[in-house]
A and B are shown apart, each in its own frame.
Chain A
Amino acid sequence: MTKKTGISVPEGYFTQLETRLQSIPHQEVRPTVIQKVSPWLAYAASLAILAALGNFIFGRAAATEEEMGLDYISYLSQSLDPDGQIELMENPTLTEEDDIRSFLIASNISVEQLTELNYEEDY
């Protein structure tokens, strides 16, 4: 196998090439398509990241609340009876309105306290 390849260049090519290449620093560099769209891509990416982050944080908070059974009944019972002296009448996971009322009556809650807790409209 020979090292000769039979390829050639136009006459004086390398002199002309050197001059042409040395003019590169003085050429205006045209931005590529990627460079043109990259600020918009960065903007879209940051919006997407924010949306994903928001979804992660709030979605997780909601899920945690659900997982732990921290509904408004539990919240109320903890606010009104932190020591757990009042027994929940039927089921610890009360959901019916009557149960809620019974629980509130048993807790001796005042209207003022309920107002503070935004449950005024029921009374």
Chain B
Amino acid sequence: MENLEQVFNAIVKNYSERLYWHVRRMVGTHEDADDLLQDIFLKIWTALPSFRGEAQLYTWVWRIATNETLNWLRREKVRAALRFQSVDSEMERRIMADPYFNGTAAQRELFKALARLPEKQRQVFVMRWWDELSYEEISAITGTSVGALKASYHIAKEKLQLNLSQAEVSK
């Protein structure tokens, strides 16, 4: 048990900050990212005894984080649907209201455009563009082929650029 706790503490030390930024870019606001990160590490702690070392610890931790984040996004979609709202507009509203966003209007637009991407495309884009993971690393984490990841990334990037240019035109 003590040994597990040491491993867990090492995971927290090595990955918490990096995972925070990943989650934050995926969900948008600091408050949501903070709540979700707590859930992710709780999951890591409860699953740690079953970690058999088939995957690298790094891949395993990232896999839990990305799966939990996708589940969170899906739950938000359902919650928004139950309130007869679109999840995109709800996330945009939250991003606008986030006190820990102090970027430019263009950066806010980028975040809003990111929130409009399908979850999987958003995930691939965030992991490649901001987390700077290689396609091979993303493939090991998500279980998606490198070819499919490259296609998703390029589609996501094109959509973002289109959204940003449309936002620029509408000003």
Residues of chain A whose beta carbon lies under 8 Å from any beta carbon of chain B: 1-10, 14, 17-18, 20-22, 24-25, 29
Contacts and interface: CB of A to CB of B under 8 A. Distances in A.
Contacts of A6: 101-104, 107-108, 111
Contacts of A5: 25, 103, 107, 110-111, 130
Q: Interface extent on B, as a size class?
A: 35 or more
Contacts of A24: 8, 38, 41-42, 45
B88 to A, nearest CB: 18
B107 A2 contact: yes
A29 B9 CA distance: 17
22 contacts: A2-B107, A5-B103, A5-B107, A5-B111, A6-B101, A6-B102, A6-B107, A6-B111, A7-B111, A8-B101, A9-B100, A10-B30, A14-B17, A14-B20, A17-B17, A17-B20, A18-B16, A21-B12, A22-B8, A24-B41, A24-B45, A25-B8
B164 interface: yes
Interface in B29-67: 30, 34, 37-38, 41-42, 45-46
B103 A7 contact: yes
Contacts, number: 73
Contacts of B77: none
A1 B160 contact: yes
B24 interface: yes
B82 to A, nearest CB: 17
B81 interface: no
Contact of A3 (B9, B106, B129): B129
8 nearest A-B residue pairs (beta carbon) = A6-B103, A6-B107, A21-B12, A21-B41, A25-B5, A8-B100, A24-B45, A22-B9
Nearest to B106: A2
Interface in B1-19: 4-5, 8-9, 12-13, 16-17
A21 B35 CA distance: 11
Nearest to A4: B107
Contacts of A9: 20, 30, 100
A18 B107 contact: no
B164 to A, nearest CB: 7
B130 A3 contact: yes
A15 to B, nearest CB: 10
B89 interface: no
A122 to B, nearest CB: 68
Nearest to B15: A21
B127 to A, nearest CB: 13
